[in-house]
Structure formats: C-alpha cells, structure tokens
Amino acid sequence: IQEFMNYFHALECGYREIPYHNRIHATDVLHAVWYLSSQPIPGLPTMINDHGSASDSDSDNGISHGHLGYVLSKTYTPTDDNYGCLAGNIPSLELMALYVAAAMHDYDHPGRTNAFLVATSAPQAVLYNDRSVLENHHAAAAWNLFMSRPEYNFLIHLDHVEFKHFRFLVIEAILATDLKKHFDFVAKLNAKVNDDAGIDWTNENDRLLVCQMCIKLADINGPAKYKDLHLKWTDGIVNEFYEQGDEEASLGLPISPFMDRSAPQLAKLQESFITHIVGPLCNSYDSAGLMPGKWTEENNESGDTDEHEEDSPDMDSCDSHEARKKRRNVYCQITQHLLQNHQMWMKVIEEEERRAVKDKQSGEPRTALHPSSEQIEAIKEEEEEKGKAKEEEDKAASEANQ
C-alpha cells in the first residue's frame, strides 16, 4: 500500500497548474471510469456466475479469469438479471489497468494541443514523429516516473507476464484518448455492435475496445455533467485555449479556431463539441448497451398486459422476459445532462445571432458576444419561469375539471 501511495502522490504532483489539464481533471476522469464501470447497466449480461468467477479464460495469453478474479461494486447485485455491471465482465487486472490509465492519461500536460506542439517543432513532437504526441508523452513520462524509484513499484507482486500485459493495457488506454483517432474508435465499436455476435466478453480484444471507449467517454465527460459543473469545466478549457491563442499570436502563428480571446465563440465551441464528438460517442456507447442507467416502465394504457402474459402458456420464460424488456425505457442521467447542455448552448447561439442582427440593423459595430454566467443564468431563469407558468396552467386546468 505504501508504494501505491508513494507513486500516485508523485503522479499527482507531476500534473501542472494549468486551467484544464491538471490533477483535478485526472481525478475527474478516474472517477468517471469508476462510475461507468461500477454502476448498474440495464440489460447487460454478466460473465460472473454465482461463485464470483467466469467460465472462460484467455488461454492464448496464459491468463485465466479465475486467477485474476473480478471486482464488483457494492452497488451492484449480480443476482439481478435485469442489470449488469461492466466490472463484472472485466478481469481485475484489466480493470486496474483502466483505472491506472485514467490517473496517468494527461500526466505532465503542457496546456497546448498536439497541433501546436507539431507546428512549433516541440521536443515531444520530434521524439514521437508528430503522432499522438501528447498521449505518447503522458504514457512514457508516467511510466518513467513509476520506474524511477523502487518505492513507487506497487506492482511488485505481478509476475513478468502479468506486468507486461498490465503495461500494455495502460498504454493502449492512454493512446485511445487522442481525439484524432476518435472516429476510428467510434466506427469500430459501431461495427462490433452491428455484428450479429456483438461484444464477446470472453475475447480480450473486445474487452480492450470497451475499456478504450470507457476512458474516452470519461475524458470528455464535461458536457455530460449537470449544467453548473459543466460550465466550470468549460471555463477551464477555454482559458487554456486562450493561453495557447496568446502564444500563437506572439509567435506569429495563425490563432487556432476557438482560441482567440478577442473573438470568443464559446457557445459554438461547446455545441460543435457535443454534436460532433461527445454525442456520437455516447450514442455508440449506449447502442452497445454499456451506459449506466435504470429501467423505467412504459405506461400501459390498456392495463391488461400482465394478465395476458399470465394467460399465455405458449410464451416461455425467455420470450416473456424479452417482451417485458421491449416495453421498458431506460433513464440515463449522462444522456439527459448532455441533451440539456446542448439545448442550453443552442439557445445561447440563437441569442448571439439575434444580437448580431440587431447590431447590424442599428448600424452599431458588431461586438463579439462572450456568453457570461449572467447570460446563461438568464436563460436558465427564463426556462424556470416557463416551467412554473406551465405548472400553474396545468393546475388550473385540473381544478376546472374537478
């Protein structure tokens, strides 16, 4: 335990004091992968049997599930066949590798993008041949730290094969966070989901893909948080962007999109990020049946479905179970927050466009509209007022009918 504490304290100290890619972001991503892997997932089959072990193994790698074991969250009940848990399908060594990768994934981040490092011929870009520069640096620097002192070696009890496999999994998870490869990963999972066989939990490559998608979602989960927290993370990333834009201007380089503090486009940045990056990833992850949530029963207006099922001897238990699942919806807090935040930014964009038209008609010079917390709060209050008005109308209508 002491080696574990030593290493992760040193790892935390290696994150720079920058607006976004700091130790708090690393902690947030670690928490997110824990959440995604430990919370109940509606309809997910589990590889765990009643004795807490799996029946299959990756014999090609000389690694058996029984030897590695599985870790289950206290919030997950394996006897409930209506829910599954990601941790119930991933051996503990692979799960630990996912968590360690989350903690390492942005180690020593300089607060600049890959494109900036390549454009300025930074040492890291030269070292890694302009390919996944930051991601390679994070992984290499974090492992160099681990190997720099014996008192950091919390993996000392792994044998050579296990350590080599663990290191491979951590590196693959970190490299997956390169957004340049984002659509390749999304397409890969979509192809797997559309395949009749689907995800094969006994296949190590399939489990690795799931873990890669998990850390990717955790890494860009800001728009999937509730509004106030989402705005705090948004403030961090734009300030880091503006710092890069300032340096680009000082170097005589073109200022990257969304990084010019004199012409802020915060709403367009977030709307585009949700529409083109986070949304497709969430859709793919959800289509694979990996998104935590809870079943919600659909309203049955006829009210006789249950009786019909009881009076149908030709329907076996499996068919009955599938029929019940088809009538159910799933509530997912992640996708709800994502939808709400997207709607919020769309309203900000509409307000910006109205302001631009008004300025043009009045002949006043157009000024960049940087949506402030007050502006967003005004939109929020407007939504609440509309909601209250709707509640009062519904209440009045209900009283009139009584």
CB-count exposure of residue 144 (10 Å: 0-12, 13-18, 19+): exposed
Contact 269, 342 (CB under 8 A): no
Contact 289, 201 (CB under 8 A): no
Q: Number of helices and strands (H, E) in the chain? A: 17, 6
DSSP state for residue 176 in the 8-state scheme: T
228-243 residues labelled b (16+ CB within 10 A) or e (exposed) = eebbebbebbbebbbb
Among residues 21, 25, 105, 182, the one annotated as catalytic is 21
11-38 residues labelled b (16+ CB within 10 A) or e (exposed) = beebbeebbbbbbebbebbbebbbbbbb
- Does the annotation mark 165 as catalytic? no
Measured distance CA(347)–CA(256) in Å, rounded:
25
What count of other Cβ atoms lies within 10 Å of the Cβ of residue 110? 15
- Alpha-helical segments (H) within 251-332: 266-273, 279-287, 305-310, 317-326
Measured distance CA(383)–CA(273) in Å, rounded:
23
CA quadruple 15, 247, 243, 260: dihedral positive or negative? negative
Tell me which residue has tokens 């991503």: 29
Contact 105, 179 (CB under 8 A): no
Angle at 160 between CA 205 and CA 134, to 5 degrees: 60
> Greatest CA separation found in the chain?
78
Tell me which residue has tokens 């100290």: 13
Token representation of residue 264: 């802020």
Q: Active-site residues: which are they?
A: 21
